[in-house]
Structure 1
Amino acid sequence: MFKYAICNETYQDWTLETALAHAKESGYDAVEIAPFTLASTAYDVTAKQRGEIRGKIEDAELDVVGLHWLLAKTEGFYLTTPDDAVRQKTSDYFCELARLCSDLGGKIMVLGSPQQRNLLPGVSESEAMKLAADCIRKAMPTLEQCDITLALEPLGPAEGDFLNTAEKGMELMDLIDSPNCKIHLDVKAMSAEDKPIPQIIRETHPHIAHFHANDPNKRGPGMGDVDFVPIFQALKEVDYRGWVSVEVFDYEPGIESLVKDSIAYMHKCEAATS
């Protein structure tokens, strides 16, 4: 049986308590937190606030997956810049995010943030790989100390021009060379690859730390053309035991539908693999 989570920004302007109660009632086991929904930066979330947020999640009888959209809506951070000072600042911020993640009770940090990793003028892909590895590697001792796994997220060309395939994600993971650095897979992103999604899952195992369920149309699973039955079959074949988190970008169907229809469809697909 898969463990299902929902990304908290799905609830947009709902209060945290109302969102948590709805997620629980809808059948989810955990929430995944976008830091920008808490404050402008992780530095701005006080120790008291961290304790209060964790308490509310525990009161709702939910777990915390961890954090995603790590650098979204921030300024001054960049993964692949040749500027040593900016890279160091970014590395330091990953350390603070790891502390925030741990304080909230999470274990996973999903690193997508394409706008802070796209290739800059004059920087080749191979150089960007080395710069990104340098930036992340400096933060890994703190992540290891906090028992946090950094999950590198390959994204399709519609999002950016760096780390566009799971294979490239594995290449960067190998450069970083830490037991706490693994791969995150996202259905929308994998749909942009030439390989079938089940094949990507099998080839990336056993390095998959986390999984996002969505559709290329930016809505929830089952709300587009992607059939999740073979995807879930592949996850079962490789004995994936991590979270399956719903992450959407198009809220037009409405929050209630996105939350409830997504998990209903995933349960149906999971049953079909039995």
Structure 2
Amino acid sequence: MIRSAVTVSLVAEAQGGPFVFWYDLQAAAAQASRLGFDAIEIFPPGPEAIPAHAVTQLTSGLDLAVAAVGTGAGWVKHKLHLCQPEKSQRDAAKLFIRSMIEAAAAIGAPAIIGSMQGRWDAAVDRKTAVSYLLEGLEELGEFAEKNGQILIYEPLNRYETNLATTLRAASELLAPLSTKNVKLLADLFHMNIEETDLAVAIRTASDTIGHVHFVDSNRRAAGMGHMDYGPIAAALQEIKYDRYLSAEALALPDSVTAAEQTIHTFQKYFPR
């Protein structure tokens, strides 16, 4: 069964980014439960912000799960990513992600690698950057498996990375990995920029998809742009996707309205 989720950011440095709720995890969870979401997706500044006992007590009391935990604070807060030229920087990035994988697993959720994947540039050419990224994903994918979770890798649009920008490119990039525990995040906003046909891309990626960001073409809540969700919903049902559609969307015009619009659109295309 496809389930709904909504994002909450606890990272001050990410202010203005595409997250529906901000800063107050307890209030965000209460709103998510009231509106009928199945889960929340958390973007924390570090593992200390999501202590297992407190988060589990909060979510279980509201009949919610944690869909995923983002690692992006490693980049926006600490300026670390997996393709940096210095080994010490890459090691620090991996250490941060490992800590997030452990913290996420303790609350029953996978971790996402998005902005922390990095990019190639004048200091690190493409071939070297890809080798660094694969080295990191190999290690971290195995570490996530030991913690009982998948690891989610997110292809981003061309303005945010120059590595893999489509589901096909990401699948090809991951193909050399020995671990099969790294799955893809299909973010509909990024896909709207990069894919020629979102439904075809989903069908082609099929069993490699481990998470979906449910958002509209303008990065506002689903139903506030011009995304055609009918073919997308059909493709997800055809491939028997059974994880979360999580609203990583701008809090416009405000958090509650964005969340209400998201759950309305979700229920329209994925009725129970």
Q: TM-score with structure 1 length normalisation?
A: 0.88
In structure 2, what residue type is equivalent to 1:127?
T
Identify unmatched segments of 5+ residues in structure 1. none
Change (3 A) 1:140 1:194: closer
Q: CA-to-partner distance for each residue in 1:204-231, whole Å, 9 max, x for gaps? A: 0111001111123110111101111110
Aligned residues: 261
For residues 192 and 131 of structure 2, what CA distance do their matches in structure 1 show? 27
Equivalent residue number for residue 54 of structure 1 = 56
Using the TM superposition, give the Cα deviation of residue 185 of structure 1 relative to its aligned residue in structure 2, in angstroms: 0.4
Using the TM superposition, give the Cα deviation of residue 268 of structure 1 relative to its aligned residue in structure 2, in angstroms: 1.3
- After TM superposition, the structure 1 = structure 2 runs for residues 1-274 of structure 1, keeping only pairs within 5 Å, are 1-9=1-9, 10-13=20-23, 15-36=24-45, 41-42=46-47, 44-45=48-49, 49-70=51-72, 71-106=74-109, 108-113=110-115, 117-248=118-249, 250-271=250-271
Q: Is 1:229–1:270's contact at 8 Å kept on the other side of the alignment?
A: no
Change (3 A) 1:164 1:12: same
Using the TM superposition, give the Cα deviation of residue 62 of structure 1 relative to its aligned residue in structure 2, in angstroms: 0.4
Moved more, 75-84 or 2-11: 75-84
Using the TM superposition, give the Cα deviation of residue 194 of structure 1 relative to its aligned residue in structure 2, in angstroms: 4.1
For residues 261 and 79 of structure 2, what CA distance do their matches in structure 1 show? 38
> Stretches of 4+ moved more than 4 A in 1?
none
In structure 1, what residue type is equivalent to 2:173?
L
For residues 122 and 18 of structure 1, what CA distance do their matches in structure 2 show? 43
State, as a whole percentage, how many aligned pairs show the same letter. Answer: 23
Using the TM superposition, give the Cα deviation of residue 16 of structure 1 relative to its aligned residue in structure 2, in angstroms: 2.3
Q: Is 1:156–1:192's contact at 8 Å kept on the other side of the alignment?
A: yes
Q: Is 2:195–2:201's contact at 8 Å kept on the other side of the alignment?
A: no
For residues 171 and 183 of structure 1, what CA distance do their matches in structure 2 show? 11
Change (3 A) 1:165 1:25: same
For residues 76 and 18 of structure 1, what CA distance do their matches in structure 2 show? 29
Using the TM superposition, give the Cα deviation of residue 95 of structure 1 relative to its aligned residue in structure 2, in angstroms: 1.3
For residues 137 and 86 of structure 2, what CA distance do their matches in structure 1 show? 14
For residues 22 and 189 of structure 2, what CA distance do their matches in structure 1 show? 21
Using the TM superposition, give the Cα deviation of residue 245 of structure 1 relative to its aligned residue in structure 2, in angstroms: 0.6
Q: Is 1:152–1:173's contact at 8 Å kept on the other side of the alignment?
A: no
Using the TM superposition, give the Cα deviation of residue 183 of structure 1 relative to its aligned residue in structure 2, in angstroms: 0.8
Identify unmatched segments of 5+ residues in structure 2. 10-19
For residues 168 and 79 of structure 1, what CA distance do their matches in structure 2 show? 18
